[in-house]
A and B are shown apart, each in its own frame.
Chain A
Amino acid sequence: MDTTMAATEMNIAAAGRVPAPKAIISVSDVVVGFGERVILDHLSLDVMRGEILGFVGGSGAGKSVLMRTIVGLVPKREGRITVLDVDLDAATDEERRAIERRWGVLFQHGALFSSLTVLQNVQFPMREYLDISPRLRDEIAMAKLEMVGLKADVGDKYPAELSGGMTKRVALARALALDPDILFLDEPTSGLDPIGAGDFDELIATLQRTLGLTVFMVTHDLDSLHTVCDRIAVLADGKVIAAGPMSVMLASEHPWLKAYFRGKRSRAGRASQETGRPGAAS
Chain B
Amino acid sequence: MVSGCDMAVELSTDSELMFKYDGTIWRRSRLPSGRARIRICTRGVFVSGGPELKSAVDGERLVLAAVGPWTAAHSDALERTIDETVATPAAARKVEIDMSGIDRLDTFGAWLLERLRRTLASDGREAVLVGVSDDRRGLIEDLQKVNLEPAESNSHLLGLNWLAAIGATMAEVTRSFLLLAQMLGEVSHAGVRALIRPGSFRLTSTVHHLDRVGWRAVPIILLITFLIGAIIAQQGIFHFRRFGAEVYVVDMVGVLVLREIGVLIVCIMVAGRSGSAYTAELGAMKMREEIDALRTMGFDPVEVLILPRIVAIVIAVPILTFLGSMAALYGGGLVCWLYGGMNPDIFLSRLKESISLNHFVVGMVKAPFMAMMIGIVACVEGLQVKGSADSLGSQTTASVVKSIFLVIVLDGFFAIFFASMGK
- The answer to whether B143 touches A143 (Cβ under 8 A) is yes
Q: How far is the CA of A131 from the CA of B72 in the complex (A)?
A: 9
Q: A114-B388, A143-B107, A211-B107 are in contact. Are A6 and B79 (CB under 8 A)?
A: no
Is there a chain B Cβ closer than 8 Å to A136's Cβ? Answer: yes
A interface with B by C-beta (< 8 Å): 1-3, 5-16, 19, 22, 84-85, 114-115, 126, 130-133, 136, 138-140, 142-144, 146-147, 152, 156, 158-161, 176, 178-179, 181, 206, 209-212
A11, A16, A147, A178: the one contacting B146 at CB < 8 Å is A147
- The answer to whether B76 touches A9 (Cβ under 8 A) is no
Residues of A within 8 A of B420 (CB): none
Residues of B within 8 A of A11 (CB): 35, 37
- The answer to whether A142 touches B147 (Cβ under 8 A) is yes
Q: How far is the CA of A19 from the CA of B41 in the complex (A)?
A: 21
Q: How far is the CA of A54 from the CA of B40 in the complex (A)?
A: 33
- The answer to whether A1 touches B45 (Cβ under 8 A) is yes
- The answer to whether A133 touches B33 (Cβ under 8 A) is no
Q: How far is the CA of A3 from the CA of B21 in the complex (A)?
A: 13
Give 7 CB contacts A-B under 8 Å: A2-B69, A16-B14, A22-B1, A85-B2, A115-B389, A132-B79, A139-B147
Residues of A within 8 A of B145 (CB): 146
Is there a chain A Cβ closer than 8 Å to B115's Cβ? Answer: yes
CB distance from A146 to the nearest CB of B (A): 4
- The answer to whether A133 touches B79 (Cβ under 8 A) is yes
Name the interface residues of B18-61: CB closer than 8 Å to any CB of A.
31-46, 49-50
A9, A130, A136: the one contacting B39 at CB < 8 Å is A9
Residues of A within 8 A of B111 (CB): 136, 139-140, 143
Q: How far is the CA of A181 from the CA of B104 in the complex (A)?
A: 13
- The answer to whether A8 touches B147 (Cβ under 8 A) is no
Is there a chain A Cβ closer than 8 Å to B139's Cβ? Answer: yes
Q: How far is the CA of A117 from the CA of B28 in the complex (A)?
A: 52
- The answer to whether A14 touches B31 (Cβ under 8 A) is yes
Closest to A126 in B: B72
Residues of A within 8 A of B112 (CB): 136
CB distance from B104 to the nearest CB of A (A): 9
Is there a chain A Cβ closer than 8 Å to B241's Cβ? Answer: no
Enumerate the 6 nearest inter-chain pairs by beta-carbon distance, A residue then B residue, closest first. Answer: A160-B387, A114-B388, A115-B390, A210-B138, A146-B146, A179-B106
- The answer to whether A211 touches B106 (Cβ under 8 A) is yes
Is there a chain A Cβ closer than 8 Å to B119's Cβ? Answer: no
CB distance from A105 to the nearest CB of B (A): 18
Q: How far is the CA of A268 from the CA of B110 in the complex (A)?
A: 42
Q: How far is the CA of A159 from the CA of B390 in the complex (A)?
A: 12
Closest to B46 in A: A1
Residues of A within 8 A of B45 (CB): 1, 3
B interface with A by C-beta (< 8 Å): 1-2, 4-7, 11, 13-15, 31-46, 49-50, 69, 71-73, 75-76, 79, 106-108, 111-112, 115, 135, 138-139, 142-143, 145-147, 149, 151, 154, 386-390
Closest to B389 in A: A114
Residues of A within 8 A of B37 (CB): 9, 11
Residues of B within 8 A of A176 (CB): 107
CB distance from A171 to the nearest CB of B (A): 15
Q: How far is the CA of A16 from the CA of B72 in the complex (A)?
A: 35
Among A85, A131, A144, A179: residue with most chain B CB under 10 A: A179
Among B5, B15, B45, B76: residue with most chain A CB under 10 A: B5
Q: How far is the CA of A13 from the CA of B388 in the complex (A)?
A: 55
Residues of B within 8 A of A206 (CB): 138, 142
Residues of B within 8 A of A16 (CB): 11, 13-14
CB distance from B145 to the nearest CB of A (A): 7
Residues of B within 8 A of A8 (CB): 2, 39-40, 42
- The answer to whether B2 touches A3 (Cβ under 8 A) is no
A2, A12, A133: the one contacting B6 at CB < 8 Å is A2
Among B4, B31, B44, B143: residue with most chain A CB under 10 A: B4
- The answer to whether B135 touches A212 (Cβ under 8 A) is yes
Q: How far is the CA of A218 from the CA of B285 in the complex (A)?
A: 29
Q: A14-B31, A84-B4, A159-B388 are in contact. Are A152 and B75 (CB under 8 A)?
A: no
A12, A130, A159: the one contacting B75 at CB < 8 Å is A130
Given contacts A14-B34, A140-B107, 20 further A-B contacts (CB under 8 A): A1-B45, A1-B46, A2-B6, A5-B5, A5-B42, A7-B43, A12-B11, A85-B2, A115-B388, A130-B76, A132-B79, A136-B76, A139-B115, A140-B108, A146-B147, A147-B107, A160-B388, A206-B142, A210-B142, A211-B139
Residues of A within 8 A of B33 (CB): 14
Among A12, A19, A85: residue with most chain B CB under 10 A: A12
Q: How far is the CA of A212 from the CA of B44 in the complex (A)?
A: 28
CB distance from A10 to the nearest CB of B (A): 7
Closest to B11 in A: A16
Q: A1-B46, A132-B76, A140-B108 are in contact. Are A7 and B4 (CB under 8 A)?
A: no
